[in-house]
């Protein structure tokens, strides 16, 4: 990781010295500090183009976790000795991001995002990159200038713009925009190859996008299963996924801002990515994970299965989250209201999802999510804040389920911007699992009467 960073810096510095490239003159970029909070979609500015310019930045986050897990799964005869893992009060693996970008032409810039260290990948790997076009002067001076004044085009493998909640979440080391430590339980985040076109004018917000429905890119043809020869597969040539957003965002006066958006994500035959694509991993390490145990055959009394410990932060990266697990197709709608009056702000999420397998027993089912957080920012430059957040997920894991499962989480947090680039957070979290008893059988269910709660401290640096 260190060698890669040194190589990038050396190459950029050498190139800059020989090609007379400057640093810092980047157009239409959301700040990577406190000023970037509550900035959604894309940003238009009047930064003057001064030739090719390079931008570099980084973000770091470190958590101290004092959280433990509990459930009602006890004394199961077929699984003696089963228990959840005990969790120590200690530090998690620090998270780190690296960003490098360049202003290539007036209104044209490129961006590359790298994860230097994350829960899921301890080594350096690329999150994605994109080309952003805010002017078409590279075709002809002032070409479609009246239209491009309000339009932005993004192309690449990038963080796709479904909903507003992903602008208020922690992205590995980049945790400035999130007043809390955890992201939503059903965490919609995706990086697929595609393009997005934005048109924002006089408070009107709109976006239309398309992706190729693939998280990992390849051109290999996968032969469908002989038992379901017409069933689609996310690794074959698939139909595109569609994204759209429509809304209104207005600074009414110096004290009041109101924003309301509705968003759509639809994929016809590749549905597993939207709620599982954050390969950086959840902030709540190891919660609701079990230690190793054996399954005893109730008839013969012999050991039939050895179940491994699933604490591993890399292999089991999504602890504390929920994926509805639609097999082949999915449609998700997200509604996000945001109101800020002086230092008081409210952000909400109503997410309605449906999906299923390919003409199977679960060809259509629904899971919904409801989130609301209230944050009060105060002090000079709103350096301090306190806030509370409630998150509920409700839906069926399969059509055969007797009732909807429910997961709810409460978070209470306080934060201090020590500088505009340094943030400290302290949070209490309490998450409960309901109606998982219907899945209780010979194999223990970690979520049966499940609950995790405790304190989280997080320090964040971003520049």
Task: Report the distance separating Cα 441 and Cα 295, nearest Å.
Answer: 11
- Percentage of the chain exceeding pLDDT 70: 89
DSSP strands (E only) in 319-450: 329-341, 344-356, 365-378, 384-395, 405-419, 422-434
Measuring CA to CA, which residue among 455, 391, 393 is closest to residue 427? 455
The DSSP bridge pattern shows strands 151-159 and 344-356 to be unpaired
Task: Please tell me the predicted confidence (pLDDT) of residue 11.
Answer: 46
Task: Please tell me the predicted confidence (pLDDT) of residue 329.
Answer: 86
**pTM strictly above 0.85:** yes
Q: Are 131 and 156 in contact (CB under 8 A)?
A: yes
Collapse the DSSP code of 167 into the 3-class scheme (helix H, G, I; strand E, B; otherwise coil) and give the result.
Answer: helix
Predicted confidence band at 279 (pLDDT cuts at 50, 70, 90)?
A: confident
Predicted confidence band at 222 (pLDDT cuts at 50, 70, 90)?
A: low
Q: Which of 78-87, 119-128, 344-353, 438-447 has the highest mean pLDDT?
A: 344-353
Task: Please tell me the predicted confidence (pLDDT) of residue 270.
Answer: 64
* pLDDT tens by residue, 385-401: 999 999 999 999 988 88
Task: Please tell me the predicted confidence (pLDDT) of residue 101.
Answer: 95
CATH architecture of the domain with residue range 2-462: Beta Barrel (2.40)
Task: Please tell me the predicted confidence (pLDDT) of residue 23.
Answer: 67
Task: Please tell me the predicted confidence (pLDDT) of residue 304.
Answer: 82
Q: Are 288 and 450 in contact (CB under 8 A)?
A: yes
Higher per-residue confidence, 217 vs 312: 312
Q: What is the dihedral of CA 373, 253, 48, 26, to 10 degrees?
A: 0
pLDDT higher than threshold 80 for residue 21: no
Higher per-residue confidence, 69 vs 123: 69
Task: Please tell me the predicted confidence (pLDDT) of residue 38.
Answer: 95
């Amino acid at each position: 990781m260190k060698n890669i960073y040194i190589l990038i810096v050396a190459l950029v510095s050498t190139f800059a010295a020989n090609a007379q490239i400057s640093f810092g003159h980047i157009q239409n970029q959301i700040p990577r500090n406190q000023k970037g909070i509550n900035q959604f979609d894309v940003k238009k500015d009047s930064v003057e183009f001064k030739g090719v310019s390079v931008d570099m930045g980084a973000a770091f986050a470190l958590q101290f976790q004092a959280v433990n897990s509990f459930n009602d799964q006890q004394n199961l005869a077929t699984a003696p000795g089963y228990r959840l893992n005990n969790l120590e009060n200690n530090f998690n693996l620090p998270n780190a991001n690296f960003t490098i970008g360049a202003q290539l032409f007036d209104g044209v810039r490129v961006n590359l995002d790298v994860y230097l260290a994350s829960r899921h990948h301890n080594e350096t790997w690329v999150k994605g990159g994109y080309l952003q076009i805010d002017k078409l002067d590279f075709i002809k001076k002032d070409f479609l200038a009246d239209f491009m004044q309000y339009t932005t085009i993004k192309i690449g493998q990038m963080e796709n713009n479904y909903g507003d909640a992903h602008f208020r979440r922690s992205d590995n080391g980049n945790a400035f925009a999130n007043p809390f430590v955890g992201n939503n339980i059903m965490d919609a985040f995706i990086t697929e190859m595609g393009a997005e076109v934005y048109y924002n004018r006089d408070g009107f917000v709109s976006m239309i996008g398309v992706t190729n429905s693939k998280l990992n890119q390849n051109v290999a043809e996968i032969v469908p299963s002989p038992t379901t020869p017409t069933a689609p597969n996310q690794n074959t040539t698939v139909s595109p996924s569609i994204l759209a957003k429509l809304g209104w965002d207005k600074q009414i006066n110096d004290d009041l801002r109101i924003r309301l958006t509705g968003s759509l994500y639809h994929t016809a035959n590749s549905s597993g990515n939207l709620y599982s694509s954050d390969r950086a991993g959840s902030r709540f390490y190891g919660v609701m994970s079990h230690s190793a145990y054996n399954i005893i055959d109730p008839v013969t009394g012999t050991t039939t299965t050895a179940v491994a410990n699933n604490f591993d932060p890399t292999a089991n990266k999504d602890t504390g989250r929920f994926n509805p697990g639609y097999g082949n197709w999915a449609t998700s709608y997200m509604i996000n209201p945001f109101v800020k009056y002086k230092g008081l702000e409210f952000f909400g999420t109503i997410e309605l999802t449906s999906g299923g397998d390919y003409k199977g027993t679960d060809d259509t089912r629904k899971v919904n999510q409801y989130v609301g957080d209230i944050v009060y920012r105060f002090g000079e430059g709103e350096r301090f804040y306190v806030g509370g957040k409630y998150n509920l997920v409700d839906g069926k894991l399969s059509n055969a389920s007797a009732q909807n499962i429910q997961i709810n989480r409460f978070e209470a947090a306080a934060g201090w911007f020590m500088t505009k680039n340094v943030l400290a957070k302290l949070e209490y979290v309490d998450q409960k699992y309901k109606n998982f008893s219907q899945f209780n059988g010979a194999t223990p269910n970690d979520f049966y009467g499940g609950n995790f709660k405790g304190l989280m401290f997080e320090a964040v640096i971003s520049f």
